[in-house]
């Protein structure tokens, strides 16, 4: 059944994505929030397929920690799942992503209609400037900013150095920082076709004010909470790592 359900998810992805890409392209005359509402219908559709066909559901711990004002989310990155689910958990948002993704047929074309923070990873210090400049503009528009500080998806129990982009943006913008942990990699691993049923735990940590903190201090505080929470929600994976 795991093979069958995973295949049905892949087929649903192929069927649902092109129409929503067309909707996204046609939505260009509208404002950011209207486009977001239309385009994220794709996200809700795929999460419905995950829940009812693949049998992957999720629960949120710490929802009361979510501030009422636009914030920066620093999130653990284990799966493609969190790029979908965070859109249901948090208010309208944008992601820091590499420009190449915008050229992916259908998916990237739709993504391009959202005011994402797209960067050239080969630009060095200029890439960091792009994150700060675009990120401040998005926050001023009332959008949340989602950052995966590890930069790429990691296997359950693994750790990577946290990059500075999100922390530098937080230091410049002075908005609340929200650390987020989850164990989605136990059910849907990086580049994996097979997806295993179960309930993912997504844990939202206490928001903190980055005012007066250096980017290194912001990163360290977020990383300490995230990695500590990962040991709590996924202890057997971390014990084996």
Q: Kindly write down the DSSP assignment for every residue of 77-124, as one continuous string.
A: -S-SHHHHHHHHHSSSEEEEEEGGGGGSTTHHHHHTTS--EEE-GGGT
Query: Are the beta carbons of 81 and 56 closer than 8 angstroms?
Result: yes
Strand, coil or helix: 48:
helix
Query: Who has greater pLDDT, 46 or 104?
Result: 46
* Mean pLDDT, residues 29-40: 86
Query: Who has greater pLDDT, 162 or 100?
Result: 162
* Mean pLDDT, residues 23-42: 86
* Mean pLDDT, residues 21-34: 85
Query: Are the beta carbons of 117 and 94 closer than 8 angstroms?
Result: yes
Query: Who has greater pLDDT, 54 or 122?
Result: 54
pLDDT for the residue numbered 240: 47
Residue 94 has pLDDT above 70, yes or no: yes
Query: Are the beta carbons of 67 and 176 closer than 8 angstroms?
Result: yes
pLDDT digits (tens, 9 = 90+) for 130-147: 889 999 999 999 999 999
pLDDT for the residue numbered 121: 67
List strands edge to edge, sheet with 56-61: 56-61, 198-204, 177-182, 72-75, 144-147, 93-98, 117-119
Strand, coil or helix: 226:
helix
All structural domains of the chain with their residue ranges: 2-240
The CATH code of the domain at 2-240 is 3.40.1130
Query: Are the beta carbons of 94 and 138 closer than 8 angstroms?
Result: yes
At 107, the pLDDT band (50, 70, 90 cuts) reads: confident
pLDDT digits (tens, 9 = 90+) for 191-214: 999 999 999 999 999 999 999 999
* Predicted TM-score of the model (pTM): 0.90
């Amino acid at each position: 059944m795991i093979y069958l359900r995973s295949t049905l998810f892949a087929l649903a992805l192929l069927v649902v994505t092109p129409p929503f890409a067309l909707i996204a392209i046609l939505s260009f005359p509208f404002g950011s929030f209207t486009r977001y509402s239309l385009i994220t219908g794709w996200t809700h559709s795929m999460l419905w397929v995950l829940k009812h066909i693949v049998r992957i559901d999720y629960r949120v711990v710490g929802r009361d920690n979510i501030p009422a004002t636009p914030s920066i989310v620093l999130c653990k990155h284990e799966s493609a799942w969190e790029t979908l689910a965070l859109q249901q958990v948090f208010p309208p948002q944008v992601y820091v992503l590499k420009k190449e993704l915008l050229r992916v047929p259908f998916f990237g074309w739709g993504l391009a209609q959202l005011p994402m923070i797209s960067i050239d990873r080969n630009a060095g210090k200029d890439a960091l400037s792009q994150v700060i400049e675009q990120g401040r503009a998005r926050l001023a528009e009332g959008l949340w900013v989602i950052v995966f500080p590890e930069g790429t998806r990691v296997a359950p129990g693994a750790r990577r150095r946290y990059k500075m982009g999100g922390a530098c943006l937080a230091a410049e913008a002075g908005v609340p920082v929200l650390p987020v942990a989850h164990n989605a990699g136990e059910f849907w691993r990086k580049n994996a076709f097979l997806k295993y049923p179960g309930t993912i735990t997504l844990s939202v940590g206490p928001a903190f004010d980055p005012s007066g903190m250096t980017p290194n201090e912001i990163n360290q505080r977020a990383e300490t909470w995230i990695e500590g929470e990962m040991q709590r929600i996924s202890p057997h994976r971390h014990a084996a790592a």
